[in-house]
A and B are shown apart, each in its own frame.
Chain A
Amino acid sequence: MSEVYHRPDETFYVAPKEPPPSRRPPALTIGPVGWLRKNLFSSVSNTLITVITVGLMAAFFYELVTWSVAKAEWNVVNNTMRLMMVGLYPVDQIWRIELIAILLVFLSGLGLGVWGGNARGFFIIALMIIIAALFIPIGAEKIEPPPIRFLITPTDAIGPVVFVGDKDDTVRLSVEPIDDNAIANETSPFVGFIENSPGSSSSRALWNNAKAQVVAGTLDLTNYNLQLTVQLLDRSGKVLDEQLSTPTRRRVNFEFKLPADGWYYVQVLRDETSEAIYETVDGVQLPIAPARTLPNTGYAWIRIDGVDTMSSQVADVEQRTKTYGEVPAIQCPSAAECRRLLLEENTRFEGARSFSAFLKTQLDPFLQEIIVSLVVGFAVMLAAYSIGNFAKQSRNPSSKKAVSRVTIIGWIIFFPLSWILLSGFKDPDSVHPFLRLPEVAQSLWGGLILTIVLTFVSLTVAFPIGILLALGRRSKLPIISIFCILFIEVVRGVPLITILFMAKFIVPYFAKSMSDTELLIRLLVGLTLFTAAYNAEIIRGGLQIIPKGQIEASQALGLNPFATNAFIVLPQALRAVIPAMMSQSVSLFKDTTLVSIVGLFEFLGMIELIVNGQQIYRPYQREAYLFVGVIYFIISYIMSSLSRRLEESGAGTVRKMRKA
Chain B
Amino acid sequence: MSEQSNSNGSGYIIECQDVNKWFGEFHVLKDINMKVKEREVVVVIGPSGSGKSTLIRCINRLEEHQEGKILVDGIELSNDLKNINAIRRETGMVFQSFNLFPHLTVMQNITLAQRYVRRRPRRDAEDMARQLLQRVGIPEQANKYPGQLSGGQQQRVAIARALAMQPKIMLFDEPTSALDPEMIKEVLDVMKELARSGMTMLVVTHEMGFAREVADRVIFMDSGRIVEIGTPEHFFENPSHERTKLFLSQIL
Residues of chain A within 8 A of B88, CB atoms compared:
555-558
Chain A minimum-CB-distance residue to B146: A660
Chain A interface main SS type: helix
Contact B89 A553 (CB under 8 A): no
Contact A552 B165 (CB under 8 A): no
Q: Mark B81-97, 1 if CB is under 8 A from A, else 0.
A: 00001001101110101
Q: Say yes or no for A659: interface residue by CB 8 A criterion.
A: yes
Q: Say yes or no for B133: interface residue by CB 8 A criterion.
A: no
Q: Say yes or no for A61: interface residue by CB 8 A criterion.
A: no
Residues of chain A within 8 A of B89, CB atoms compared:
558
A43 and B62 alpha carbons, distance in the complex (Å): 60
A539 to nearest B CB, angstroms?
16
Partner of B116, one of A549, A553, A563: A563
Q: Say yes or no for A309: interface residue by CB 8 A criterion.
A: no
Contact A557 B161 (CB under 8 A): yes
A145 and B146 alpha carbons, distance in the complex (Å): 64
Chain A minimum-CB-distance residue to B57: A552
Chain A minimum-CB-distance residue to B90: A558
Contact A651 B104 (CB under 8 A): yes
Given contacts A556-B93, A559-B116, contact A659 B99 (CB under 8 A): no
User: Which stretch from A268-276, A422-430, A568-576, A577-585 is at the chain B interface?
Assistant: A568-576
Contact A657 B97 (CB under 8 A): no
Q: Say yes or no for A656: interface residue by CB 8 A criterion.
A: yes
A431 and B97 alpha carbons, distance in the complex (Å): 60
A556 and B98 alpha carbons, distance in the complex (Å): 12
Partner of A558, one of B85, B100, B147, B154: B85
Q: Say yes or no for A50: interface residue by CB 8 A criterion.
A: no
B219 to nearest A CB, angstroms?
21
8 Å CB interface, B61-108 against A: 62, 85, 88-89, 91-93, 95, 97, 99-105
Q: Mark B162-204, 1 if CB is under 8 A from A, else 0.
A: 1001000000000000000000000000000000000000000
A559 and B146 alpha carbons, distance in the complex (Å): 20
A559 and B93 alpha carbons, distance in the complex (Å): 13
Residues of chain B within 8 A of A321, CB atoms compared:
none
A92 and B82 alpha carbons, distance in the complex (Å): 63
Residues of chain B within 8 A of A656, CB atoms compared:
102, 145, 147-148
Residues of chain A within 8 A of B117, CB atoms compared:
557-559, 563
* Residue picked from A554, A563, A652, A658, most chain B C-beta under 10 Å: A652
Q: Say yes or no for A498: interface residue by CB 8 A criterion.
A: no
Q: Say yes or no for B112: interface residue by CB 8 A criterion.
A: yes
Contact B91 A575 (CB under 8 A): no
Contact A657 B93 (CB under 8 A): no
Chain B minimum-CB-distance residue to A553: B99
Contact B62 A558 (CB under 8 A): no
A559 and B154 alpha carbons, distance in the complex (Å): 20
A659 and B99 alpha carbons, distance in the complex (Å): 13
Partner of A652, one of B91, B92, B103, B154: B103
Contact B102 A660 (CB under 8 A): yes
Contact A651 B113 (CB under 8 A): no
Residues of chain B within 8 A of A571, CB atoms compared:
103
Q: Say yes or no for B205: interface residue by CB 8 A criterion.
A: no
Q: Say yes or no for A550: interface residue by CB 8 A criterion.
A: yes
A563 and B113 alpha carbons, distance in the complex (Å): 9
Contact B91 A567 (CB under 8 A): no
A554 and B103 alpha carbons, distance in the complex (Å): 13
Residues of chain A within 8 A of B99, CB atoms compared:
547, 549-550, 552-553
Interface range for B = 20 to 34
Interface range for A = 20 to 34
Partner of A651, one of B100, B105, B162: B105
Q: Say yes or no for A229: interface residue by CB 8 A criterion.
A: no
A568 and B117 alpha carbons, distance in the complex (Å): 14
Q: Mark A174-218, 1 if CB is under 8 A from B, else 0.
A: 000000000000000000000000000000000000000000000
Residues of chain B within 8 A of A563, CB atoms compared:
116-117
Residues of chain B within 8 A of A544, CB atoms compared:
none
Chain A minimum-CB-distance residue to B117: A558
Residues of chain B within 8 A of A567, CB atoms compared:
101, 112, 116
Residues of chain A within 8 A of B105, CB atoms compared:
651-652
Partner of B145, one of A553, A558, A652: A652
Q: Say yes or no for A560: interface residue by CB 8 A criterion.
A: yes
Chain A minimum-CB-distance residue to B63: A552
Given contacts A552-B95, A558-B85, A558-B165, contact A572 B102 (CB under 8 A): yes
Contact B103 A651 (CB under 8 A): yes
A566 to nearest B CB, angstroms?
9
A553 and B100 alpha carbons, distance in the complex (Å): 8
B56 to nearest A CB, angstroms?
11
Residues of chain A within 8 A of B95, CB atoms compared:
549, 552-553
Q: Say yes or no for B60: interface residue by CB 8 A criterion.
A: yes
Residues of chain A within 8 A of B112, CB atoms compared:
557, 559, 567
Q: Mark A635-660, 1 if CB is under 8 A from B, else 0.
A: 00000000000000001100011111
Chain A minimum-CB-distance residue to B102: A660
A59 to nearest B CB, angstroms?
49
Residues of chain B within 8 A of A568, CB atoms compared:
101
Contact B85 A560 (CB under 8 A): yes
* Residue picked from B92, B102, B158, B165, most chain A C-beta under 10 Å: B102
* Residue picked from B99, B154, B162, most chain A C-beta under 10 Å: B99
B90 to nearest A CB, angstroms?
9
Residues of chain A within 8 A of B62, CB atoms compared:
552, 555-556
Chain B minimum-CB-distance residue to A560: B85
Residues of chain B within 8 A of A556, CB atoms compared:
60, 62, 88, 91-93, 162
Interface set of B (CB-CB < 8 Å, partner A): 60, 62, 85, 88-89, 91-93, 95, 97, 99-105, 112-113, 116-117, 145-148, 154, 158, 161-162, 165
Given contact pairs A553-B101, A557-B92, enumerate 11 new A-B contacts (beta carbons under 8 Å).
A549-B95, A553-B95, A557-B117, A557-B165, A558-B85, A558-B89, A560-B85, A651-B104, A656-B147, A660-B100, A660-B102
Interface set of A (CB-CB < 8 Å, partner B): 547, 549-550, 552-560, 563, 567-568, 571-572, 575, 651-652, 656-660
Q: Provide 13 A-B residue pairs closer than 8 Å at the C-beta atoms, listed in order of the A residue.
A: A549-B95, A552-B93, A552-B95, A553-B95, A553-B99, A555-B88, A557-B113, A557-B161, A567-B112, A567-B116, A651-B104, A656-B102, A656-B148
